[in-house]
Structure 1
Amino acid sequence: MSNTQLPPLDANPQQPIPSDNDVQGSYIELHKPYSSFKNRDAYLNRELQIMQPKRWRPNLPFRDYRFEYEDTIPAMAATIGKVVMVGAIAATFAGPLGLGDAFVLENVRYELLIVSFFIILFSGFLLPTANLAGTHGPLIPLIPIVVAAGGHPMAFGLLIGAFGLLLAISKGGSLLANLTSKGVCGGLLIYLGFIGTTSQVKNLFAWAEGIGMSHIAFFIILATILLYALLEHWQKRWLAVPLSCFLGGGLAFALGAPFAFKTAPGLPHMNPMYWWGENTGWMLGLPTVESFIVVLPFAILAVAMWSPDFLGHQVFQKISYPKRTERVLMDIDDTMTSASFRQVVGSVLGGANFASSWGTYIVPAAIAKRPIPAGALLTALFCIIAGVWGYPMDLAIWQPVMCVALIVGVFIPLLEAGMEMTREGKTTQSAAIVVFASALVNPAFGWSLTLLLDNLGLIGSKERSANLTKMSRWIIPVITFVILTGVMAIVGMLPGIPALLPNFRH
C-alpha cells in the first residue's frame, strides 16, 4: 500500500486534492479538528484522504488514525452479526453431533475472545486495510453436508486457512476481483441484498408466528422502513443499525413479546485440549488423514467463494468513500491473509467459526465514511464485553433486534450499492445473468459463470472484452468456472444432479 502523503488543506471541502507528486506531511501533521470544517461530512472525507496506512508495520491510534463516534456504529453492528453468525455455524454443527445449547453458547463466547485478538493484531495494528476476519455466512447451508460426510471441523478449518493463504500469497483474490466488471459485481450485490432481506423478513415473521403474535413482525418492519427513509432524508443513514435495533427490540417488548436475559457473566473453557477431547468439547478427538480428505472439496469451495464476497465489500467502500481515498480501501489479499491466519489458529484452539470478510462491519463502516482500524479496535472491545458479560449475547440474538440489524446494516445497503453500480454503461445484461445463475445454484456459481460470459464479450460491454488480454478474457475465467463447478458437482450442490462421489450424497 502506498505511503504517499498529502499536504495540509483548508476547511473548504471543495478544494482539489493535489497530485501524488506534490503531497507531503504525516497524518498527525495533516489532521485538523472538526471545528475547522463547515460540516461533519467534510471532516470525515478529509480524514479518509489524509490517512497513510502502513502494511506489516505498527499503525497506532492518534498517530496514524483517530477514533470518532461514528466508529461505534459499525462496531456495534459487527458484534451483533458475530454473535448471530458464529451461533448459527456452531448450532448447525452441534445438532447432528448431538451437542446441546450449552456447547453452542460456550463456543460462541470462546470465538468472541479469539477473534478479538486477531482484530487487534491485524486490522488495528499490522494490516489496517485488511477487513476484519468475520464469519463465512454463505457456507452455513453446506455444513450439514459436511457433517453427513463425516467432516471434522478442525480439518475443515485448517484446509480453509491453508487454501486461503495460497490464494493471498499468489494475489489470486485481487486478480479475480479486477477481472469482475461493474455489471457482474452489481448483479451479485443485488442478489445478495435481496435474498438476505427477504430471508430476514421471513425469519422475523416465523418468530412472531411462533409466539402467536404475527402482527408484531408487520409493525416492526413497517416502523423500520419509515425510520430508514427518515435517516436517508436527514443524511444520517449511518445511525440505522443502533436506532433500528432499539426500535425493533423496544417495539416488540412494548407489544408484549417475551424476552429475558439468561446468559450470566463468565468465561469459556480456554484449553484447546478440552475442545478436541474424546469426551469433551466437540467429542471428536483430533482429525485423521481421512478427515482432511473428506472435507477437501468443501474447503476449496469455501475459499473460492471468498472472492465475490470480498469484492462486494470493497466495492461498497468505493461507492461510499470520496475521491482519492485508495490508500484506505479494503485490500482483498491482505484480508485473505488475516482471515486465513485467524482461521488456522481458531480451528486449532477449538473454535466453530469459519472465516470470511466481516460484512456486518465493513458495510456500516463504509456508510459512516470511516476507515477500518479505529472501528476494528472498538469491535474487539465490544466482542470481549459481550463474551465475558454474557447478557448482551441474549439481546443480540433476539429476533426483533437481530433481523432489523442485518436488514438495515447489511442487506439494504448491498441492494443500494448493486443498483448504483448498474446505472451506467452496458451493465444490466451482466447483472441480470448473475442474478439468474445465482438463483439456479448459488452466488459462487453465478459469479464464476457470468464472469466468463462477460469477459468473453457475449454479454455486457464488448469494448471492455476486446481490451482484455487472452489470459484475462477466457483462460482465468474458464479455469475458475471449471474448478468451482467441478467441486460443486463432486459435493452434490448442482440442483437435480447427484453428487459425483457417493460419500458426499446426503
Structure 2
Amino acid sequence: MANNDPNSYRALHRPRSEFASRQEYLEHELSIMSPRRWRINLPLRDYRFEAEDWVPAMAATIGKIVMVAAIVAAFAAPLGLPDAFVIENARYEMLIAAILFVVLFSGILIPTANLAGTHGPLIPLVPIIVASGGHPMALGIMIGVLGFTLGVFRGGSLLARLTSDGVCGGLLLFLGFVGITSQIKNLYTWADGFDMGYLAFTVILATIIMYAYLEHLGKRWLAIPLGSVLAAVIAFTLGAPFEFTTEPGLPNLNPAYWWGEDTGWKLGLPELHHFIAVAPFAVLAVAMWSPDFLGHRAFQHLNYPKNAKNVVMNIDDTMCVASARQVVGTVLGGANIASSWGTYIVPAAIAKRPIPAGAILTGLLCIIAAVWGYPMDLAIWPPVLSVALIVGVYLPLLEAGMQMTREGKTAQSAAIVIFSSSLVNPVFGWSLTVLLDNIGIIGDKERGRKMSNIDRWIIPTFVFIVLCTIMAGVGMFPGIPAIFESFNALH
C-alpha cells in the first residue's frame, strides 16, 4: 500500500524546521513528489498546501477574468451583443473551468497537466473568424478534437523535442518584450483618457522599483499580489476613476439558453459550412500551443531542482486536458479558446510550487470571483491588470529567455526566431527557426547531426509548409491577401 511505501511522498516528507531555509524546504518537496497520473491525488498523502500556493492562484484568477472577458468580447462585438452578455458569459466560463477542470483534473486526476487557460494570441483573429462565417461552437469543437488527437499521439512532446533552447529562449524574449510594451501602452492610453498620463508613469516606475527590490530579497514570487495592491493604491490615491458594477449572482447555467436562436449567442447550433469556415483557424490555434507550452515548461526547468522531474508539466497531458476543457466548455455555451494557463504556471514555477495545490486554490478563487462579481471589476481595472501581467508573466518571460540564450550558439537561433516572429507572428518564427536550427544552418550544428532525418528535416519541413499554407489562407502574411477569401470571391 502507498501508506507503507518508504519512497512515497508521505514517508519522505520532512517538516520545515529541519531545513536551513524556506527555499531548501520547497525544493525538497518538489523532489519527493510522485504524482499519480489518472489516479486520485490527495493533500497530505501526495502533496501539501503552502502559503506560496496562493500567489499563482491569485495571479491565475486575475489573468482568467481578463483573458476570458477579452475572448468573449472579441466574439460578441461583431455579433452586436452587449457588455452585459460579455460579463455573464465570462462568469459562466470561469465556473465551467473551475468546477469541471481546474480542480478535478489538474488538482486531483492529472497533476502533471497545467491548468487549461485561455489562448490569448488568438484574440486578434476572432473578428476575422466571425467575418469568415465562423461559429463559436464549431471553432471550439474543432480545436478540441485536433488538440486531443495531437496529445494522444504524443505530438506535443515530439514538437517540444525538436525545439532547441535557442529557439525556445528567443520565443520567450519576443513574447516578453511585446507583452511589456503592449501593457505599458495600454496603461498610458487608459490614463490619457482622463488627462492623467503621469499616473501611468508613476505606477510603472513604482512597479519597477518594487520588482527590483523583490529580486534583491529573493522574493520575486510575491510580485503579483504586491504589484496589484501597489498599483491599485497609487491609482486610488491619485484619483483615478473606478466603481464596482458587477453584482453578486449566478449566470444562466442552461446550455440551451446559450445556443438558442433567440437567446444567448443568438446563433443556434452550427452547421457543416460553419465547421468548414473555422477549420484553418482551428489548425492554427492548435499549432500555436507547442511554442506556448514550451515557454511555460521552461520556467519549471529553470526554477525547479534538477531531480524534480516527476512534477514537471507534461505537454501531452496538458494538450489532452485543454482539448477536453475546450469541447465541454464550448458545448455548454462558453466562448473561451483554451490553452496552457500561463498566468498560473509562470508564478507557480517561480514560487517553486507544483501544479495540484495551487490548482485547487485557483478553482476556489475563480468560483468566488464569478459568484461574488465585484472582484471581476477590480481585476480588469487597467492599473491592476497591466501590472499583474507585467510582473507575473512578461518580465519572467524576458528573464527566462535571457537565461536560455547565454551561449553564442543558442543566441543565433534566438535572434532568428525574434526576427521572423516580428515579420509575421510567433508561429511563423517558431516553425521557420526550428527548421533552420535542426538542419544546421544556424545554432548548434552538432545537435542536428545527432538527429534522425525524420526529426531533423522531414517533420520540421512538413510542419512549416502546413502552417504557412494555413497562415496564407487566413491572411496572416503582411501585404498578402487571404488566399481562402480570394478563392471564395472567385466562386
TM > 0.5 between the two?
yes
- How far, CA to CA, are the matches of 1:279 and 1:394 in structure 2? 28
- How far, CA to CA, are the matches of 2:85 and 2:444 in structure 1? 52
2:419 alignment counterpart? 436
Structure 2: tracts of 5 or more residues without a match: none
2:141 alignment counterpart? 158
Counterpart residue type for residue 241 of structure 1: I
**Contact 2:6 2:12 survives alignment (8 Å):** no
- How far, CA to CA, are the matches of 2:109 and 2:91 in structure 1? 25
Instruction: Please state if 1:329 is matched with 2:291.
Output: no
Instruction: Please state if 1:92 is matched with 2:78.
Output: no
- How far, CA to CA, are the matches of 2:480 and 2:387 in structure 1? 36
Counterpart residue type for residue 108 of structure 1: A
- Between 1:315-324 and 1:452-461, the stretch displaced more is 315-324
Question: Which one of 31, 38, 49 corresponds to residue 49 of structure 1?
Answer: 31
Instruction: Please state if 1:410 is matched with 2:393.
Output: yes
**Contact 1:499 1:505 survives alignment (8 Å):** no
- How far, CA to CA, are the matches of 1:256 and 1:505 in structure 2? 52
Question: Which one of 60, 63, 74 corresponds to residue 78 of structure 1?
Answer: 60
TM-score by length of 1: 0.95
Report percent identity of matched pairs: 67
1:11 alignment counterpart? none
1:476 alignment counterpart? 459
- Between 1:224-233 and 1:207-216, the stretch displaced more is 207-216
Instruction: Please state if 1:458 is matched with 2:474.
Output: no
1:352 alignment counterpart? 335
**Contact 2:436 2:442 survives alignment (8 Å):** yes
Question: Which one of 95, 98, 103 corresponds to residue 85 of structure 2?
Answer: 103
Counterpart residue type for residue 306 of structure 1: W
TM-score by length of 2: 0.98
Write out per-residue CA displacement over residues 206-260 of structure 1, whole angstroms, 9 at most, x where no aligned residue. Answer: 0000121100000000000000000000000000000000000110010010111
1:25 alignment counterpart? 7
Once the two structures are TM-superposed, the CA of residue 424 in structure 1 deviates from its matched residue by 2.5
Structure 1: tracts of 5 or more residues without a match: 8-22
Write out per-residue CA displacement over residues 289-317 of structure 1, whole angstroms, 9 at most, x where no aligned residue. Answer: 11100000000000000000001001111
- How far, CA to CA, are the matches of 2:485 and 2:382 in structure 1? 38
**Contact 2:160 2:290 survives alignment (8 Å):** yes
Instruction: Please state if 1:286 is matched with 2:269.
Output: yes
The correspondence of residues 58-73 of structure 1 with structure 2, limited to 5 A, is 58-73=40-55
- How far, CA to CA, are the matches of 2:104 and 2:467 in structure 1? 32
Relative to structure 1, the CA distance from residue 484 to residue 108 in structure 2 (aligned partners, 3 Å threshold; closer, same or farther) is: same
Relative to structure 1, the CA distance from residue 91 to residue 377 in structure 2 (aligned partners, 3 Å threshold; closer, same or farther) is: same
Relative to structure 1, the CA distance from residue 459 to residue 231 in structure 2 (aligned partners, 3 Å threshold; closer, same or farther) is: same
Instruction: Please state if 1:200 is matched with 2:186.
Output: no
Relative to structure 1, the CA distance from residue 192 to residue 341 in structure 2 (aligned partners, 3 Å threshold; closer, same or farther) is: same
**Contact 2:162 2:455 survives alignment (8 Å):** yes
- How far, CA to CA, are the matches of 1:337 and 1:425 in structure 2? 36
Counterpart residue type for residue 168 of structure 1: G
- How far, CA to CA, are the matches of 1:185 and 1:143 in structure 2? 26
Query: Partner of 2:138: helix, strand, or coil?
Result: helix
2:350 alignment counterpart? 367
**Contact 2:214 2:223 survives alignment (8 Å):** yes
Counterpart residue type for residue 67 of structure 1: F
The correspondence of residues 109-188 of structure 1 with structure 2, limited to 5 A, is 109-117=91-99, 118-188=101-171
Instruction: Please state if 1:246 is matched with 2:229.
Output: yes
Relative to structure 1, the CA distance from residue 378 to residue 504 in structure 2 (aligned partners, 3 Å threshold; closer, same or farther) is: farther
Question: Which one of 231, 235, 238 corresponds to residue 214 of structure 2?
Answer: 231
Once the two structures are TM-superposed, the CA of residue 35 in structure 1 deviates from its matched residue by 1.3
Query: Partner of 1:501: helix, strand, or coil?
Result: helix
1:502 alignment counterpart? 485
Once the two structures are TM-superposed, the CA of residue 466 in structure 1 deviates from its matched residue by 1.0
- How far, CA to CA, are the matches of 2:233 and 2:18 in structure 1? 38
Query: Partner of 1:468: helix, strand, or coil?
Result: coil
Once the two structures are TM-superposed, the CA of residue 24 in structure 1 deviates from its matched residue by 4.5
Write out per-residue CA displacement over residues 124-149 of structure 1, whole angstroms, 9 at most, x where no aligned residue. Answer: 11100100000000100110110110
- How far, CA to CA, are the matches of 2:486 and 2:195 in structure 1? 42
**Contact 1:156 1:292 survives alignment (8 Å):** yes
Counterpart residue type for residue 180 of structure 1: T
**Contact 1:149 1:504 survives alignment (8 Å):** no
- How far, CA to CA, are the matches of 2:232 and 2:424 in structure 1? 35
1:214 alignment counterpart? 197
**Contact 1:272 1:350 survives alignment (8 Å):** yes
Query: Partner of 1:427: helix, strand, or coil?
Result: helix
Q: What is the aligned length? A: 486
Once the two structures are TM-superposed, the CA of residue 504 in structure 1 deviates from its matched residue by 8.7
**Contact 1:492 1:504 survives alignment (8 Å):** no
Once the two structures are TM-superposed, the CA of residue 487 in structure 1 deviates from its matched residue by 0.4
1:302 alignment counterpart? 285
Instruction: Please state if 1:338 is matched with 2:314.
Output: no
**Contact 1:490 1:504 survives alignment (8 Å):** no
Runs of 4 or more, structure 1, over 3 Å off, are 503-506
**Contact 2:183 2:386 survives alignment (8 Å):** yes
- How far, CA to CA, are the matches of 2:418 and 2:189 in structure 1? 26
- How far, CA to CA, are the matches of 1:260 and 1:250 in structure 2? 14
Query: Partner of 1:426: helix, strand, or coil?
Result: helix
